[in-house]
Structure 1
Amino acid sequence: MPPPRRTSPPLGAIRVTTGKVIKKEGRLAIFIGVENGYPAGLDINRIKEFYDLGARYMTLSHSRNNDICDSSTDPAGPEHNGLSSFGEEVVRRMNALGMMVDVSHISDEAFYDVLNISSVPVIASHSSCRALCENPRNLSDDMILALKKNGGVIQICILSAYLKSPEANPVLDSTIAEIRRKYGDGRNLTGEQMRSMRDEIRAAQKKYEKLATVKDLVDHIDHVVQIAGIDYVGIGTDFDGGGKIAGCSNVAEMKNITIELLRRGYSRKEIEKIWSGNIMRVLRTAEAYAAGQNQASLLP
């Protein structure tokens, strides 16, 4: 019997079990995340505020360093040489709350610091394989194997530059460089100016970019499966951050990934793990750890 037709808006889910209930009702379940711990500043209580507002994972940094840790892409270089002391506190607080720690965007040193400190598996919500595409945003094989040992998941990012090393494209490069000169380094832009800059960059990319394909994306999934196993890989779109590839530029086209997985011989059970099973396992583990911590705190 086919699932009920979705006619209602999606609902936010706060636990794996509530997500399953929402799905059984024929609705989409959305788990909220915070991409960049910067808004926490140096206030550890903000982490629980994020959690209470529904956030169930947080990416520790974004494209620049913050008070929590170093970014993998800050042009100024490292500030903390990994996690800061406050960042260590943040990871422990997230563990205690049942909030998944997201290591995408953070530096290699910060990545290993997180694994040394976290009591539960962590996720790389939208990263790919450095062995196939040399990019600081991607994870090396050693990092993927360390993530496996931790029990975590790397979710392959649907963003062309993280899947395939870009071919020389001087027209696109010069166009984007001119846009960036027009707006400066972005630090002092208003929200409207930032949106305008992004719109102009995306328009240039749409016109000139040579995108990676769905096959390139599944090559990254294959790579993780080959070196770590089927239980440690997922998919992270990044559609709101420039993510798109030829054949998958929006949610409506994500079925093309499943088609390619089937073409390569992945079973239904394996595909379910890739699409949701693996990351839900990590969230269940985070929830269980937090519940155990809370129970322990009630003991005399």
Structure 2
Amino acid sequence: WQWSFPGGTPSSSSQEDPVVVYPEPGTYDVSLTVTDAFGTSSQSYTDFIHYTDSVSLITNTSNFAQDFENSNFPPTAWELESPSFSWLSTIVDFGIDCLPTTTTYVDHYWIQYPGEEAYLISNKISLENGVSAQNWLTYDYAYSGYASGYDDGLRIDISTDCGSTWDSIYGAIGPDLQTAPYESNAWVPTCGSWASDSINLSTWGLNGDTIMVRFVAINDYGNHFYLDNININGDNILAIEENNSNFNIAIYPNPTKGIFSIRTDAKDMRVEIYSTLGRLVSEENIIGGLQHIDLNGQPKGIYFIKLKSGTKIEQRKLIIQ
């Protein structure tokens, strides 16, 4: 065996299965010459090595967002792993905002590999640190199921060592995952059939870590599962008035196209949304921890959300694109 790895370290090797390190992302050529009792054979491979490495930094002013609208799938620096089936990209007529959207999905309806898993793995994400930092993972999903006993599942794993090991932070199967009634035909989302969920990554002790998120589709020959608008939001607190708050808030997706959700652990919360000119554009009460808000009628731009619970007040920034 005689390998040649231009740009790599080592740049050549006589091992059968060499390990090569490249200094930066890019595409690299490889050539191999093999000699045995029957002679010598050489082969060159152009752009054989594809090295991508992207780290998204989460701060109090920047978020990680993946809406799958780009034509590339998987998205740049994301990975797909599965021996039998995979996550795919598709356009549906109705997304979380009841408008057409590009989403990723798993075609469980036509796949019969019960118990097998397909992985969709994010690029690296550097989470905000600090005592008061709150890093939330939020996402939209839609799933109908096929019938009782055909229980597809979703699991979310986190890695802090570049994918060498994974820890599960969420899991649901069958009825616990459904957002719509059972459907015996191949199902596509309808207006109102999506749901949103959020996970506080800070409670898992991940503040300050560089993580990768793995979305695991578990097949049970059920029906299509859709996933969209994956966000990781940092603290995003612009100002704190009166007493420091002791409730957790997630606002997603942010930026938004107009419809977004607010999730909180406060039992009762007043929400006021203001334009940059100080005009009150919306008022809501959140009871039970989750509220969907529609600002489709408002111009694109920056808005401020004032959140009140008892004597506690917070202010957050919202961007409408």
TM-score over 0.5 for the alignment?
Answer: no
Comparing both structures, which one devotes a greater share of its residues to helix?
1
Comparing both structures, which one devotes a greater share of its residues to strand?
2
Q: Over alpha carbons, which structure has the higher Rg?
A: 2
TM-score of the superposition, structure 1-length normalised? 0.28
TM-score of the superposition, structure 2-length normalised? 0.27
